[in-house]
Structure 1
Amino acid sequence: MNVLILGSGQLARMMALSGAPLGIEVRAVDVSNHKVVNPIDKKVMDIHLETAIEAADAISVEFEHIPEPLLEQVNRSGKLMPSVEAISAGADRVKEKALLDKLNIANCPYMIVDDVAKLEQAVAQLGEKLIIKASRNGYDGYGQWRLSSKEQLPDIQQALAELDLKKVPLVVEKMLSFEREVSLVGARAKNGQVAFYPLVENLHHQGQLHTCVAPAPAITPALVAQAEHAFNALVTELNYVGVLAVEFFQMGDTLLVNEIAPRVHNSGHWSMQGADTCQFENHLRAICELPLGSTQVLAPSVMLNVIGCDLPPKDMLSVARTHLHGYMKTPRAKRKMGHINITGNDYAELGAAMQKLQKWLSKSYFPTLNGEAERLLQIK
């Protein structure tokens, strides 16, 4: 069986590694030049894009921001999963908000702004504490601005003045005092079968995910029901096939959708060691019409992103139940270089392992590590 992935980064690589035991060959497309590459070693393959599309049994994506001509070309094959509509909703915050509103899925109060002058109206409507997001091409904290008081408004307007907001509008959201961010990763097969991973807790620093704890502590059945209801509404509306991630802000007993990601997701990486079937294998199973694998949690887990630095020394693997996944990249600021998965019998074991890892993990690149370790140690 042959699968073609649009995008040739670490997510395509991990899908290829997960597909190999199933006899699924994964090829990837570098969307910047349309070259077909081996997703594991990144070497260009002697095959044209058109031939790769024809040879593929299924085609999917590793991220949402696919150039539209390429997406349209692939879509004509009839093999693309999830659908163009789902990918577009993940790539465009205006479409995402419209989808959530259509399905009556609770999300952050917002306003669409296509002129910097309208930011004053947004302040009047939503308050003076705002998160301002570019509707396209924003991720990991890029394409976002924060307004903490109306006195900052002129500076924000000046910073945005050169943007073509008619072409790429802003989504301006009310800045909420939420308790934490949680996310739900699930898979849906073509026959409608759905498999959920547990809700996980995400900790961000400067707009990027640094730590993910699975399952999230202190999750109630009511929160699970809300998350799964939102997921089911989305996949039913989109006739979705594959893995979908939905990020939520928790405010008391209520979950508000922050954003959706129509693909395998960073907050699901823990499943490589912590679940019976990882998200990468389940995505391939879904699009290749294989039965979905069990998402049963094998052990509480924590995932640490390695960002902007070389991979840590291999001596860190002396800490029991610690696993390193490198992405074969050259370091640069804010670039995800790999991740570390840790499993334990309980949260306290995870916290203790994280404390031991501080010997090899620089605080400048892992600024949340110590605080998260101490917090996990306190969870009974």
Structure 2
Amino acid sequence: MKVLIYGAGQLARMMYLAGSPLGIEVHAVDVGSEKIVNPVTKQISDISLSHAIDHADAISVEFEHVPEHLLEQAALSGKLYPGIEAILTGADRVREKRLLERLAIPNCAHQIVDEVSQLEGAVELLGDKLILKASRDGYDGYGQWRLNERSNLPALAQSLTDLDLKKVPLVVEKMQSFEREVSLVGMRSRSGEIRFYPLAENLHHQGQLHVSVAPAPQLNESLTDQAESIFRKLAEALDYVGVLAVEFFQVGDQLLVNEIAPRVHNSGHWTQQGADTCQFENHLRAVCGLPLGDTRPRGIAAMVNIIGFDAFGLDMLAIPGCHLHWYGKVVRPKRKMGHFNLSGTGYSELGEAMRQLGGYLPAAFFPHLESEALRLKGVS
């Protein structure tokens, strides 16, 4: 079987590696050049995009910000999974908010702003602690602004005057207090079968995910039921096929949707060693019409992102349950270079592995390792 992935980054690479044992041949599309490339070697193929579409058994994406004309071309083939509506919704916060409202899914109080002059009204309605998000092309903390007090509103408004808010509106959200962020990675098959990995707890630094732990500590049945119910509503409304990630803020006993990602997701990387079938294989199974794999965790697992840093050896691989996934990129600030997966039979064992990993790595680039190791060692 052949699967064509729009986007040629690390997620396409990991799908390629997951597909090889199944005999699934994964090719990627560089969406800038529209060339077909090998997701691992980056070698450019001499076949055309139209030929690749014709000969693919399924087409999917590794990220949602694919040029719309390419998505429309792929959708015409009848092989695009998930569908174009789901991908466009994940790429546009306004579409996403409207979907959540239509389905009565709890999310942060917000206003859509397409003129700077509307910010005053947003403050009146939502308060003077706000986060402003570009509705498109924002990720890892980019395309976001914060208002911490009303007196800063004129300066903030001035900084936004050069933006075309009619073309790319802002989603202005009330800055929500929450206990933690959790995410649910699940998948839906072509036949409508749905499976879930356990909720993961996510720790961020400067707008980027640094650590995910799964299953999240202190989970209860109510939180799991809420998350899975919301996933089902979204997946069925979008007639979704493939892996879908839903990020939540936990506020007391309630989950509020922060955002959705119509693809394999960074907070699901732990599944490569921590679950019977990883998210990359399950995505390929779903889009190819194959049976979904077992999502049960093998123990307790964590993913630790490597961001903007490559100056380390490999001695940490002596840590039991430690695995490195390296993406082969040139280092740049804030660039995801790879990740470590750690695993243990319990939280204390995982915390000890995390403590040991922190001994090999600088805290400036891995700011959560020490504190998270201590926390996990205290979880029963």
More deviation, 356-365/100-109: 356-365
Q: CA deviation at 1:299?
A: 1.3
Q: CA deviation at 1:41?
A: 1.1
User: How far does the alpha carbon of each residue in 1:199-253 deviate from its partner, in whole angstroms, 9 at most, with x for none?
Assistant: 0100000000000000001111011111001000001101000000000000010
Q: CA deviation at 1:42?
A: 1.0
Does the aligned pair in 2 maintain the 1:311–1:326 contact within 8 Å? Answer: no
Residues 1:278 and 2:296 are matched in the alignment: no
Q: Distance in 1 between matches of 2:195 and 2:24?
A: 21
The equivalent of 1:246 in structure 2 is: 246
The equivalent of 2:5 in structure 1 is: 5
Q: For residues 219-298 of structure 1, what are the structure 2 equivalents within 5 Å? A: 219-298=219-298
> Which residue identity does 1:365 align to in structure 2?
F
Q: Distance in 2 between matches of 1:71 and 1:312?
A: 39
> Which residue identity does 1:362 align to in structure 2?
P
The equivalent of 2:150 in structure 1 is: 150
Does the aligned pair in 2 maintain the 1:184–1:200 contact within 8 Å? Answer: yes
User: How far does the alpha carbon of each residue in 1:84-126 deviate from its partner, in whole angstroms, 9 at most, with x for none?
Assistant: 0000110000000000000000000000000111111100000
User: How far does the alpha carbon of each residue in 1:261-310 deviate from its partner, in whole angstroms, 9 at most, with x for none?
Assistant: 00000000000000000000000000000000000110100100000011
Residues 1:190 and 2:190 are matched in the alignment: yes
Q: CA deviation at 1:358?
A: 1.8
Q: Distance in 2 between matches of 1:7 and 1:341?
A: 23
Distance 1:235 1:361, change over 3 A: same
Q: Distance in 2 between matches of 1:191 and 1:207?
A: 36
The equivalent of 2:216 in structure 1 is: 216
Q: Please give the secondary structure, in 2, of the residue aligned with 1:244.
A: strand
- Regions of 4+ moved over 2 Å: none
Distance 1:281 1:311, change over 3 A: farther
Does the aligned pair in 2 maintain the 1:311–1:337 contact within 8 Å? Answer: no
The equivalent of 2:351 in structure 1 is: 351
The equivalent of 1:42 in structure 2 is: 42
The equivalent of 1:202 in structure 2 is: 202
Q: Please give the secondary structure, in 1, of the residue aligned with 2:106.
A: coil
The equivalent of 2:70 in structure 1 is: 70
The equivalent of 2:137 in structure 1 is: 137
> Which residue identity does 1:214 align to in structure 2?
A
The equivalent of 2:317 in structure 1 is: 317
Distance 1:268 1:115, change over 3 A: same
More deviation, 106-115/311-320: 311-320
The equivalent of 2:96 in structure 1 is: 96
Does the aligned pair in 2 maintain the 1:201–1:213 contact within 8 Å? Answer: yes
More deviation, 5-14/66-75: 66-75
Q: CA deviation at 1:20?
A: 0.3
> Which residue identity does 2:273 align to in structure 1?
Q
> Which residue identity does 1:136 align to in structure 2?
R
Does the aligned pair in 2 maintain the 1:311–1:338 contact within 8 Å? Answer: no
Q: Distance in 2 between matches of 1:367 and 1:203?
A: 10
Q: Please give the secondary structure, in 2, of the residue aligned with 1:370.
A: helix
Q: CA deviation at 1:155?
A: 1.4
Q: Distance in 2 between matches of 1:24 and 1:296?
A: 23
Q: Please give the secondary structure, in 1, of the residue aligned with 2:263.
A: coil
> Which residue identity does 1:138 align to in structure 2?
G
Q: For residues 118-137 of structure 1, what are the structure 2 equivalents within 5 Å? A: 118-137=118-137
The equivalent of 1:375 in structure 2 is: 375
User: How far does the alpha carbon of each residue in 1:128-182 deviate from its partner, in whole angstroms, 9 at most, with x for none?
Assistant: 0001000000000000011110111111111111000000000000001100000
The equivalent of 1:23 in structure 2 is: 23
Where does structure 2 lack aligned partners over 5 or more consecutive residues? none
Q: Distance in 2 between matches of 1:306 and 1:42?
A: 21
Does the aligned pair in 2 maintain the 1:179–1:251 contact within 8 Å? Answer: yes
Q: Distance in 2 between matches of 1:45 and 1:178?
A: 47
Does the aligned pair in 2 maintain the 1:93–1:136 contact within 8 Å? Answer: yes
Q: Please give the secondary structure, in 2, of the residue aligned with 1:119.
A: helix
Q: Distance in 2 between matches of 1:151 and 1:349?
A: 48
Aligned-pair identity (%): 63
More deviation, 248-257/344-353: 344-353
Q: CA deviation at 1:312?
A: 3.1
The equivalent of 2:300 in structure 1 is: 300
Q: CA deviation at 1:311?
A: 6.1
> Which residue identity does 1:274 align to in structure 2?
G
